[in-house]
Structure formats: C-alpha cells, structure tokens
Amino acid sequence: MGAGLKVAAIVGLIVLIGNGKHHGVPSVLATTDSVTASRLAPSGHAAVAIAYAEHQLGCPYVWGGTGPCSAGFDCSGLMMRAWQSAGAWMPRTSQQQWASLRHIPASQVRPGDLVFFPGSDGTWRAPGHVAMVISGSRMIQAYATGTPVEVSPLSGAGAGGIVGFARPGGA
C-alpha cells in the first residue's frame, strides 16, 4: 500500500471511529442519530488536507503563523497550508477565506470542510476564527495563544456560535 493510501486509510479509520455514538457532543452534521460512514468519509483532496492538519497536532499557536510547526500556526494559516498540501489555493485570513470560498449548508458538510466562528477578532459577517471538520462531532483547529493545534468538539458554544461552513476547491 502506498503512502497516500495509508494516510487515506488511517484518516478514514479515525473518521469511522469518531462517528459511532456522539457521546453527548452536539453534531451539526447529523440530522438523525445515525450518520452514515460513507457520507463522512473524506474524499481524495479532503483526506490529504485532513492528514496535513492532523500531522500538525501539538504545534504551537502563533498569531499570523503559517508554519512549519517550529514557527507555529494560527487558525487560518493552518487551514491555508492544509489545503495547499492538497493542491487547493485559498486566501490567508479567516475573513478572506469566508468571503471567497463556496458556502455550504450544514446538512451538506463533510470532512475537510471549514467551519467559521465570529471569534475575538471577527464578526458574523467577517469571521475571526476557522477550523476544519474532521467528523460529525470533531474539528481540528489552531485556537489561541497557549493552546497548541488540537482536535476539539465541533460546536459553536465556545467561540460565539457557528457562522457557517465553506468548502475549499478540490474538496
């Protein structure tokens, strides 16, 4: 099995493991209690972007950071680099990403899509925080100074509510 297929298989397994019962974590993706694994299995480009982001787990948060790990990431820098690794271009900041990417309804969200929040430096019209959906109840993010890149519950409670979702090109 080639390296790319191994990464895709590992990412798919992580997604499947994370999508059993939601263990009390609200899922913005599920419209019923049973979410099909095929709907939440990442596709080619999304699997590459997710694998890149997961490889950065534990890297420091640095405002304005675009990596590598030793230099740190901020939220939008991590999303930009993850999707660049999959061959998709996107702008640098969360506000620019929200303004330029194709918005999608919550009912169509799948792994690799971006979720936007007002954040401390943004608004509902120009979100200040972005993360990547990795399952029906989890996201990966570079949240704030002192918090390394992490996997977190996918909910809007801690970041002022969810503004919406967007899908990068190639997803």
Single out the residue of 13, 146, 106, 134 nearest to residue 5, CA to CA.
13
Q: How far apart are CA 123 and CA 75, in angstroms?
A: 15
| pLDDT tens-place values along the chain, 171 residues long | 444 433 333 333 333 333 332 222 234 444 332 333 345 667 799 999 999 999 999 999 999 999 999 999 999 999 999 999 999 999 999 999 999 999 999 999 999 999 999 977 788 999 999 999 999 899 999 999 999 999 999 987 555 799 999 999 866
Q: How far apart are CA 5 and CA 1, in angstroms?
A: 6
- Domains of the chain, each with CATH number or no CATH: 3-167 (3.90.1720.10)
CA angle (118, 124, 129) in 5-degree steps: 25
Q: How far apart are CA 77 and CA 93, in angstroms?
A: 7
Backbone phi, psi, residue 72, to 5° = 90, 170
Question: Helices 44-55 and 75-85, interaxial angle, to 10°?
Answer: 130
* Strand 114-117 to 164-167 pairing: antiparallel
- For the purposes of burial, counting CB atoms within 10 Å of the CB of 158, is it exposed (0-12), middle (13-18) or buried (19 or more)? exposed
pTM of the model: 0.77
